[in-house]
A and B are shown apart, each in its own frame.
Chain A
């Protein structure tokens, strides 16, 4: 990772300006020029160092309902259950975790009322009980993992 890439990760995770030439303005802050910054960002997106460049919205505050779900899935049945769970479009992400509760997924629906039917369908299809763990409170985070 070169110096500009490092500066982008460390100093450009927020604050991208709302102005006519924002890359030029951001580049000045980072000691680069507009064309170099744009080319470097494109390179980082192509390489997968950045997943995205732009506004990061709070999906929950935009509206809709979310919950974190956990299941304890027998090892022999894990792949079948994963395929059944992932087939639901309401499943936004799904992780295998090293724990008795070994499958953790997030459900995202337009309204709270739509969460329970999806959970019921997953339980019926998989034969596994779903623990429904909606967030009661979010604590402010300011993630700044240094590059």
Chain B
């Protein structure tokens, strides 16, 4: 990442100023024109470094308090196609393939699932299980019981 993009990330990663012309304020802070700022942000949107621009809701404040990490042992030859389908489900916030660590850890697909109750989240997880069924060997569910630390992923 070039130095200009890094300055833009640092100036905006904590949020935009809630003023009528927020981009002008960011451009001034970074020391570039608003047009140049737009061009850099569009480039970062295009290559995926910038996912989106908008409101970042607090799941807990919206009532989504039953948050589970569902983990699955899916046949290697099927995991990428099925992982893409799981990621497209509306209640899944993150979906990753990770290495198995046998014998302690047999699961290679992780899907974070959000619901307003354990019953709702459980139904979502059951739906994932049905989708994966043709290639599924085992699964497990890990509910979070406490946040021990949350600083977010930011440029230091």
Q: What is A's interface to B at a CB cutoff of 8 Å? A: 8-9, 12-16, 18-24, 34, 38, 41-42, 44-45, 47-63, 66, 68, 70, 82, 85-86, 89, 91-99, 101, 103-106, 108, 131-145, 147
Contact = CB atoms under 8 A, between A and B. Distances in A.
A80 to B, nearest CB: 12
> Chain B interface: which size bin?
35 or more
Top-3 shortest CB links A-B: A139-B87, A14-B52, A59-B153
10 contacts: A18-B42, A42-B18, A54-B14, A58-B50, A68-B110, A86-B149, A93-B151, A104-B69, A145-B59, A145-B91
A97 B145 contact: yes
A108 B149 CA distance: 13
A133 B84 contact: no
A57 B49 contact: yes
A137 B57 contact: no
Nearest to A106: B153
B39 to A, nearest CB: 9
B148 A137 contact: no
Interface of A is mostly: mixed
Contact of B20 (A38, A49, A62): A38
B80 A49 contact: no
B18 A97 contact: no
Nearest to B156: A89
Interface of B: 1, 9, 12-16, 18-24, 34, 38, 41-42, 44, 47-59, 61-62, 64, 69, 80, 83-84, 86-88, 90-99, 101, 104-105, 110, 114, 140, 142-156
Contacts of A62: 1, 9, 49, 155
B147 A95 contact: yes
Contacts of A44: 55
A47 B146 CA distance: 21
